[in-house]
Structure 1
Amino acid sequence: MTKIQIITDSMTDVPQDIRDRYRIMVVPLKVHFGDEEYKDGVDLTYPEFYKKLSEARDLPRTSQITPPEFLEVFRQGLAEGKEILCINGSSRASGTHQSAVLAKKELDSDKIDVIDTLGLSFGGGMLVYEAAKMAEAGAARQEIVEQLNSLRPKVDHIFTVDTLEYLKKGGRLNPMKATIANILNIKPILTVVDGLVEPLDKVRGSKKVIHKMIELAKQRGGDFSNKTVALAHAIIPEKVEVFKEEVADVLKPREIIVAEIGCTIGTHAGPGTLAIFYYK
């Protein structure tokens, strides 16, 4: 039984089988459609969420986890005699990480570490997964923290969105650029730099996008034979299967994980988003 409780927020999109296997605790952010509030991945299934999202006139709001919510889960872990490692999605995208830092301060315990992955979706989840494997293998908390700090700058995100509409609505993209790209059927390929979304490349038409993403991963990732690759998708299971087959064929990684993009990241990226994560 590991003595370290791994806690993360729902922005890291850690798949259920990994959560179950390593007993990872996920604290949900909230998503608001008008006056209705839902806990990310708890009160709404992902298909229900994306259906509501595509029907909503205005973009839903997402709200961060509060310090009292983290206090509660930290106290619970300490009461069970565990040390706590809380690993959060990018602090540049949400105040959630700061809430965890405040909760740690309030408890004033030397048994808690709070890590900012500066990642989005399973880009942050890669570090959660690494921490969980190390904790299960008996690594000390300090050792895990050092490893995560050294891996954080190496996590690469490459993703594409089906439409720029959601990035535009969320103020993440210039509306004029979004309109032009949609008219020309340009599929943007994006990355994350220092916790924020940046353009990386673009292709005409969705047919070429998977091929291009794999090509970019190959250039940026080098040899994949000993690597874990994670693919994430917003309710496009058939497309992610095709992506997975091509990744297996071209990159030949040691392991491929498939994750679903939840409500928090999905609000800004929209249905049809496809991503690949690995260590550079």
Structure 2
Amino acid sequence: MNDTNKRKRSRQLDGSLLAQALIAGIRHLFTRRDYINRINVFPVPDSDTGTNMAFTFKAILQVTERRREAPLSDLVGAVSEAALDGARGNSGAIMAQYFQGFQEACAGLATLNAAQFAAACSRGAEQAWGAMSEPVPGTLPTVMEDHARALQHAAERGVRDLRRLFVSGLDGARTSLVNTPNLLPALKQAGVVDAGGQGFVDLLEGIAAFLTTGRVDELDSDWVDASDDGEPLEDFDVGAHQFCTECVIEGAGLDREAVMQRLQTLDQSSLVVAGNTQRVRVHIHVNSPAEVFLACEEFGEITQQKADDMQWQHSLLNQPGQVAVVTDSAADLPAAEVDRLGMQVVPVRLSFGDRDYLDGVTLETADFPAMLAAAEVAPQTSQPPPKDFRRVFELLGSHGYEVLYVGLSSKLSGTFQAGESAAKRCPDMTIEAVDSMSASAGQGLLALMAAEMAVNDAPLAHIEQHLQALVPLTQIMAMPDELQSAVRGGRVPSAVGKLARWLRLMPVLTAKDGRLTVAGFHTGHRVNPDKLARRVLRAMDDQQSYRVLISHLANKEDAQRLRRLVLEGHPQIHSCHIADAGPALGVHLGLRGLAIGFLPDIQSSELQHA
């Protein structure tokens, strides 16, 4: 390359050079994830800003690596779409809107000179501010704006060389970042800078290093944690709203401002709305995620629903033990025990006609009975996608936890396989998965046992070994409310259902080799807790202590009677919980169906000799 071409190259940013710069910046950002998590205190101290930015930029990285030689406008368009699609958290949504603005400024351009690049960054910062319902100085858009202003000043001074231009912009961003505590009291109180702003500066650091050296450093993995500076933060209030809620609205002629105005009518905070006329991403903190999704449905089709419990995330800073237990919502669990033991439940999906819900998040357990009773078409359950598990695993891993996942029987659903798949995509973490070979109350009992061992500081290998030994000893029995539910759910063959209906019999279901099968029948057309108790007591050893869990959907009276009969009928019951059943059970057993799980309360030493 002759001197003229070199000089032109150093003064013009084309698609190839921008791609290399982005790749370098993103890879450097990945190495700072852990530190960014630790300094995250605003808008809530949920210690996930580094993880959210890493996930957002991983989507951008994948597109950029595939389009290294694409024209500038094509590359920027792909980057803005990837950012919108992959955005995670408050910082991710703001970054997505930044790239929307950057794309607008680059439309139709093959290259950018210094002034054009400064203008594109300025447009990005302007859009980032506009994405926030309540703009707060001292946060990520402040650093973006000061970075763009420094670029503009350099361009106005006659700086044309890209490397010198980037260094000027980086200096402005660094100065802005250091000043964020002076603008935001929460940062000054914690003694940190803004976490989102730190991530943006780290991105710029990587870009500047590439422009100086011409080298794009390779990483051992996408999730390297090279930074070990910074101390864990003290306890902070997570605020008035429990759930960090996100979704994407898809449609034609979407009005981002109208979406924001509609969501501002809710009891909410930290609202960020990013996107364009075809796709809009919403990030919002609320106590009722269902209200958000219902409001968003007014504008278009809803995809990528999620609602993360920030109170649970914050509790990770103080949770005893270093093993975290994760299960899916096919397990029926007492809410108080989930909170006490610090468990995390990944929601299964539920469809009523053309509407999709997240079990226990966008569809409350208390609302399900009325919806089921009114449904003209039977609802359908479906497994969570691997990304739902991975999000939980990654968050736990960022706090140093090992993970034990206790899943729905692999013979009943692909849910367990989805959890396993997610675990394999977290190679830097220690994750064990236990197939419960059960569901409902049986799966719930195993998850509770694991969580109790975890809070008592049992090592992961010990917990996993203990649960594997308990799996074949765990039993579950269930009575449908009415025969049609069991037949429709596929748990009773239609031919058997017809015969049972003719003989006025109702089935009793159990888990055998991981599948729900018919264990027998009882006379009558409704749930009978007395007959179910007799079956359970016959299956128990009088000399053995048991842990018991009873679940119901809308039949607390019979659930309480069943518990009383079991407690009176067996001399050694360690515990007997009653839990509200999730939709997964209700779909198959009906509104008043009952399920009971029980497993022997055996210590590890006893299991070795059992």
| Structure 2 length-normalised TM | 0.44
Partner of 2:581: 261
Partner of 1:59: 378
Relative to structure 1, the CA distance from residue 102 to residue 208 in structure 2 (aligned partners, 3 Å threshold; closer, same or farther) is closer
Range moving further from structure 2, 41-50 or 92-101: 41-50
Contact 1:224 1:254 in 2 (8 A): no
Relative to structure 1, the CA distance from residue 207 to residue 265 in structure 2 (aligned partners, 3 Å threshold; closer, same or farther) is closer
1:113 to 432, 436, 439: 432
Relative to structure 1, the CA distance from residue 185 to residue 55 in structure 2 (aligned partners, 3 Å threshold; closer, same or farther) is farther
1:35 to 354, 357, 375: 354
> Hey, what's the Cα distance between the residues in 1 that align with 2:586 and 2:543?
28
1:236 to 555, 561, 575: 555
Q: How does 1:1-280 map to 2 (within 5 A)?
A: 1-205=320-524, 209-223=528-542, 226-252=545-571, 253-279=573-599
Deviation at 1:110?
4.9
Tell me which amino acid in the other structure corresponds to 1:212: K
Q: Secondary structure at the match of 1:11?
A: coil
Deviation at 1:120?
0.8
Contact 2:551 2:578 in 1 (8 A): yes
Deviation at 1:177?
2.9
Deviation at 1:183?
4.8
Contact 1:91 1:118 in 2 (8 A): yes
Deviation at 1:121?
0.3
> Hey, what's the Cα distance between the residues in 2 that align with 1:224 and 1:178?
37
Range moving further from structure 2, 207-216 or 41-50: 207-216
> Hey, what's the Cα distance between the residues in 1 that align with 2:503 and 2:543?
34
Q: Secondary structure at the match of 1:93?
A: coil
Aligned-residue Cα RMSD (Å) equals 1.8
> Hey, what's the Cα distance between the residues in 2 that align with 1:248 and 1:185?
30
Contact 2:403 2:432 in 1 (8 A): yes
> Hey, what's the Cα distance between the residues in 1 that align with 2:481 and 2:356?
26
Range moving further from structure 2, 177-186 or 193-202: 177-186
From the two aligned structures, give the one with the greater strand fraction: 1
Consecutive unaligned residues in structure 1, runs of 5 or more: none
Deviation at 1:114?
1.3
Deviation at 1:101?
0.8
Deviation at 1:22?
0.5
> Hey, what's the Cα distance between the residues in 1 that align with 2:402 and 2:500?
48
Contact 2:397 2:429 in 1 (8 A): no
Q: Which 4+ runs in 1 deviate beyond 4 A?
A: none
Contact 1:187 1:209 in 2 (8 A): no
> Number of paired residues?
280
> Hey, what's the Cα distance between the residues in 2 that align with 1:229 and 1:173?
25
Deviation at 1:117?
0.5
Range moving further from structure 2, 156-165 or 141-150: 156-165
Relative to structure 1, the CA distance from residue 224 to residue 47 in structure 2 (aligned partners, 3 Å threshold; closer, same or farther) is farther
Contact 2:482 2:525 in 1 (8 A): no
Range moving further from structure 2, 215-224 or 3-12: 215-224
Relative to structure 1, the CA distance from residue 244 to residue 18 in structure 2 (aligned partners, 3 Å threshold; closer, same or farther) is same
> Hey, what's the Cα distance between the residues in 2 that align with 1:244 and 1:40?
26
> Hey, what's the Cα distance between the residues in 2 that align with 1:235 and 1:211?
18
| Structure 1 length-normalised TM | 0.94
Identity of aligned residues (%): 29
Q: Secondary structure at the match of 1:272?
A: coil
Q: Secondary structure at the match of 1:44?
A: coil
Contact 1:31 1:39 in 2 (8 A): yes
Relative to structure 1, the CA distance from residue 113 to residue 153 in structure 2 (aligned partners, 3 Å threshold; closer, same or farther) is same
> Hey, what's the Cα distance between the residues in 1 that align with 2:593 and 2:527?
15
Tell me which amino acid in the other structure corresponds to 1:78: G
Tell me which amino acid in the other structure corresponds to 2:588: H
> Hey, what's the Cα distance between the residues in 1 that align with 2:425 and 2:455?
28
Tell me which amino acid in the other structure corresponds to 1:108: P
Deviation at 1:208?
8.6
Contact 1:229 1:277 in 2 (8 A): yes
Q: Secondary structure at the match of 2:377?
A: coil
Range moving further from structure 2, 224-233 or 97-106: 224-233
Partner of 2:41: none
> Hey, what's the Cα distance between the residues in 2 that align with 1:109 and 1:167?
43
Tell me which of the two structures has the higher relative contact order, counting C-alpha pairs closer than 8 angstroms and 6 or more residues apart.
1
Tell me which amino acid in the other structure corresponds to 1:166: S
Deviation at 1:250?
0.8
CA-to-aligned-CA distance 1:129-162 (integer Å, 9 cap, x gap)? 1111111111100000000000000001111111
Contact 2:440 2:585 in 1 (8 A): yes
Q: Secondary structure at the match of 2:542?
A: coil
CA-to-aligned-CA distance 1:32-65 (integer Å, 9 cap, x gap)? 0111111111222224212222222221121111
Tell me which amino acid in the other structure corresponds to 1:268: H
Q: Secondary structure at the match of 1:12?
A: coil
Tell me which amino acid in the other structure corresponds to 1:52: M
From the two aligned structures, give the one with the greater helix fraction: 2
Relative to structure 1, the CA distance from residue 224 to residue 123 in structure 2 (aligned partners, 3 Å threshold; closer, same or farther) is farther
Q: Secondary structure at the match of 1:138?
A: coil
Q: Secondary structure at the match of 2:417?
A: helix
Contact 1:225 1:251 in 2 (8 A): no
